[in-house]
Structure 1
Amino acid sequence: MNLRKRAISGIMLAGSMVVMCAIADAASTVSAEAVAVVADTRTDLATDGTAGVVAQLNQINTDIVEMAAAGIEHSQTILVASADEEAQAVEDTDTLENASVVQNEAASIEESAQIESEEDGTAQDAGTTEDIQETVEENATDIENTENTETENTEETENIENAEDAGNTENTEDAEWQNRLMADVDEFLYVRASGDADAEIIGKLYKGDVADVVESGDTWTHVVSGDVDGYVNNDYCVSGEDALAYAQENVETEAQVNTNGLRVRNEASEDASVITAVSEGTTLTVDTDAEAEDGWVAVKYKGQTAYVSADYVTTELALGEAVTIEEEKAALAKKAEEEAAAKAAQTTETSTVQNASVSASYDDVTLLAALIQCEAGNECYEGQLAVGAVVMNRLRSGAYPSSISGVIYQSGQFPPAGQGMVASIAANGPKSSCVQAAQQALGGSDNTGGATCFSRASSGRAGVVIGNHVFY
């Protein structure tokens, strides 16, 4: 009997150890799975929010308890089964008694394990709740920081874009001028066939002309402009940004009209009066001295500042190109032909008509003679008479003042009168030929065909050419 009791005690001790090992394994498994679930819970926080996390925690608690209980029950079943098999060799009374003891011990172990599991779960729940709270706060902070960063980035982007827009035109223009060159001269700069002061002159780069740089040198630069391909002396040139600044200061800006019927207004407003309308392709000179008006371009029109809509014009510098020697010769020849044609339209045949004489005082004669001397004192007598005839034709026309002195001193008509030269000569006495021409003009002689104006014959104006003037 004692041997049997000892055997049963040994079995119970072994069973207790099996139960404890099973509980430990179950706890480890539960702990590992709980960690995984917590990780999933943190992931769910971003999508399901706090409510989802609480639900996950409740589920975790339930699963932990059930898993621990299942592990204990499974160990107990194994222990009871083993005890039943061993108890077959002992008496029925002793077996039942020992089995009851084992069951009581297993129940006690189960209760302790359950309490320990609940305490661990509670601690884990508390730790998980704190972790979740920290995660929520961190996420809220991250979201706020992200919004602030996005706002700052948006503002910075807008500032950068505005700066880029403001500087795009300038940067593009600067880039275009990096390989450009202009002649810093009063009239023109020779372009030679090679980089040598004695090389053949093949063209001219006039003031306001621009050239593209092919190759820069210490003394000479190889350039191309128009049909000219040659070399210019660096001492008389500016390039790059200096060339751009030079162009902006010395070259006019033009506005090319891009639509038909563009209205030219006297003010920068759609309600302003319309001066005229211009057709597509018309080129207007920009008035760079006028104050800039948003949406409008100030232009020069018939001596005054006018405005056109900026939406319908393209503005650019009126840059020229170099000309070859052959091109310049051809241009000079064409100009000579035009001047010859203009002179051909002038007549040199004069006929003198006799108009009614005009009574005049000595002072009127002297004053007219002084004007004749100022305007044609060194010309032939016919030229002097013609100047006197113009004054008398104005007096007779009724469109000018009704006195000789009034005609001569009319504002803006005879510069020598306004400059005091006429009065000076009259005071000192005009020369005799001019006095004679004045008297004949007052007597009614007119060799201009009734002209009331005159200018230099070289002007090309059609009319009657007498001496160095054309009368019309």
Structure 2
Amino acid sequence: MNLRKRAISGIMLAGSMVVMCAIADAASTVSAEAVSVVADTRTDLATDGTAGVVAQLNQVSTDAVEMAAAGVENSQTILVASADEEAQVAEDTEETSAVQEETVSVEESAQADSKEDETTQEADAVEDVQNADVDSETDTENTVDVENTKDIENTKETENIEDTENIQNTENAEWQNRLMADVDEFLYVRASGDADAEIIGKLYKGDVADVVENGDTWIHVVSGDVDGYVNNDYCVSGEDALAYAQENVETEAQVNTNGLRVRNAASEDASVITAVSEGTTLTVDTDAETEDGWVAVKYKGQTAYVSADYVTTELALGEAVTIEEEKAALAKKAEEEAAAKAAQTKETTTVQNASVSASYDDVTLLAALIQCEAGNELYEGQLAVGAVVMNRLRSGAYPSSISGVIYQSGQFPPAGQGMVASIAANGPKSSCVQAAQQALGGSDNTGGATCFSRASSGRAGVVIGNHVFY
């Protein structure tokens, strides 16, 4: 705005000068024309007199005024034009300045934006780098975690391998001076290294002995209370003895806590079969699949599992026995058998219980079982088998039907093997049918027995024919 004022002031000053110059030019022209008019006036004075002179002067005055006015107007036009041009120049200059300022502002803004963009880009780059660093750190941490996990797993595997190797090395070291008899039953232990020497003991299959001194034919050993010599040809020693033991000797699991649960599968969620007390010895089922943290054991004819944390497993190795110890053991066994036999009685008393109504099929099925178990026995023996089935039915501890009792799993082998069904289909013999009917009628000559086995088992009970009922 100040620039425009200064421009207009300059224009007005220049315009004033132009007007003054124009008037001066006009005056010069008028003067020249006046001189010409004076000359002409002199002529007109000579010819026209005073009137001609006056007319000539008026014309000169008029022309002078017009010329001056034209000069002024021309000067004004020039002045206005000049002013407009100057104003336009000023405006252009101002606009140019404004444009330049705007351009500068735009450039500055652009530069600022550029700097801001650069700053943002730098910040983004820094953030990306930081994020990359974070991601890298995270990846590194994850990698480290994975590596640590792998290291831990590898360490555990290494430790397990080392533990296994240590156990194996310990076992191998323990067995370096051990010996076992590679025989079907037993190996004699003699008083000296001679085939004619006195027999002082027996090393049974599965017994282990410590080697005192090796020899080419005879080896000096100690096992239990036996200290003597065994023939080298019938022995295995060192690692071979260990391999023999693992192949031929059962492994036992000694229970170290009370109430240890025996389960039907290697899982804490598996069903509990029973619970055993501390000191109980279970036989390890070495043929079953092994599970980490569990030991497979044999329990009542099936494979069961116990927690490995509460048992100690070891080979069920035996020791040699002296001749005196063996004689004492045989005498004790004979006494026990005699006592069991004395507890058996052949006196039977038949009692009459309440009869049980049964269908034709029940009678046939019971008669078929009697024929399978005691078909060649005396009638009393056949009746006794029928009475056992009826006693179970009345007890409430067994299934509540005749067929349920007969086909209960693991109780009567002929039933599970299909023999009972076969005889029932073909028709049992008459004596067995009669025994079945009398048992259903309530007759019991077993004294309430619910089980029976071979009389030769030595079990206490009532002996009828070849069976003992208890």
Counterpart of 1:152 in structure 2 is none
**Following the alignment from structure 2 to structure 1, what is the Cα–Cα distance between the partners of residues 406 and 270?**
40
Is 1:415 aligned to 2:413, yes or no? yes
Q: 1:238 aligns with which of 221, 236, 239?
A: 236
Q: How does 1:38-117 map to 2 (within 5 A)?
A: none
Query: What SS is found at the alignment partner of 1:242?
Result: helix
Tell me what 2:245 maps to.
Answer: 247
Give the RMSD, CA atoms, in angstroms.
Answer: 3.8
Report if aligned partners of 1:254, 1:285 keep a CA contact under 8 Å in 2.
yes
| CA shift for structure 1 position 427 | 4.9
Alpha-carbon distance change, 309 to 356 in structure 1, aligned in 2, over 3 angstroms: closer
* Aligned CA distance change for structure 1 residues 377 and 261 (closer, same or farther; 3 Å): closer
Q: Name the structure 1 match of 2:389.
A: 391
1:371, CA displacement in angstroms? 1.9
Q: Is the Cα contact below 8 Å between 1:286 and 1:297 reproduced in 2?
A: no
The equivalent residue for 1:298 is 295
Higher Cα radius of gyration: 2
Q: Quote the offset at 1:471 in angstroms.
A: 2.2
Please list every run of 5 or more consecutive structure 2 residues that lacks an aligned counterpart in the other structure. 1-154
Percent of residue pairs identical: 85
CA drift of 1:465 comes to 2.9
2:454 matched residue in structure 1: 456
Rounded to whole Å, the distance in 2 between the matches of 1:408 and 1:265 is 28
Give the structure 2 partner of residue 185 of structure 1. Answer: 183
Taking the aligned partners of 1:426 and 1:254, their CA distance within structure 2 comes to: 44
TM-score calculated relative to the size of structure 1: 0.54
> Deviation of residue 333 (structure 1)?
1.8
* Structure 1 position 172, deviation (Å): 2.6
Closer, same or farther in 2 for the Cα pair 1:414/1:316, shift >3 Å?
closer
Quick one: which amino acid aligns to residue 298 of structure 1? V
Q: Secondary structure at the match of 1:411?
A: coil
The alpha carbon displacement at 1:447 in A equals 0.4
User: Is the 1:284–1:299 Cα contact (8 Å) retained in structure 2?
Assistant: no
Question: 1:8-62 deviations in whole A, cap 9, x for unaligned?
Answer: xxxxxxxxxxxxxxxxxxxxxxxxxxxxxxxxxxxxxxxxxxxxxxxxxxxxxxx
Alignment partners' CA distance in 2, 1:400 and 1:166: 48
Tell me how far 1:386 sits from its aligned partner.
0.3
Cα 1:197–1:382 change in 2 (3 A) is farther
Instruction: Compute the displacement of 1:359 (Å).
Output: 5.3
Q: Distance in 1 between matches of 2:419 and 2:313?
A: 46
Q: Label 1:401 to 1:166 Cα distance change in 2 as closer, same or farther (>3 A).
A: closer
Partner amino acid, structure 2, of 1:216: N
Q: Residues 283 and 392 (structure 1 numbering): CA distance in 2 closer, same or farther, change over 3 Å?
A: closer
Give the aligned partner of residue 137 of structure 1.
none
Offset of 1:352 from its aligned partner?
Answer: 0.4
Superposed CA offset, 1:346-374 (max 9, x none): 44432101234455566554443332222
Structure 1 SS opposite 2:347:
coil
For residue 219 of structure 2, what is the amino acid of its counterpart?
T
1:399 Cα shift? 5.2
Matched letter for residue 378 of structure 1: N
1:321-332 correspondence to structure 2 within 5 Å: 321-332=319-330
After TM superposition, give the deviation of residue 272 of structure 1 in Å.
Answer: 9.2
Aligned length: 308
Q: How does 1:28-427 map to 2 (within 5 A)?
A: 167-195=165-193, 199-256=197-254, 261=258, 264=261, 276=275, 278-279=277-278, 281-286=279-284, 288=286, 289-293=288-292, 296=293, 298=295, 300=297, 302=299, 304-308=303-307, 310=309, 314-358=312-356, 364-397=362-395, 400-401=398-399, 403-427=401-425
Instruction: Return the offset for 1:205.
Output: 1.6
Aligned to 2:464: 466
Kindly provide the amino acid, as one letter, of the partner of residue 434 in structure 1: C
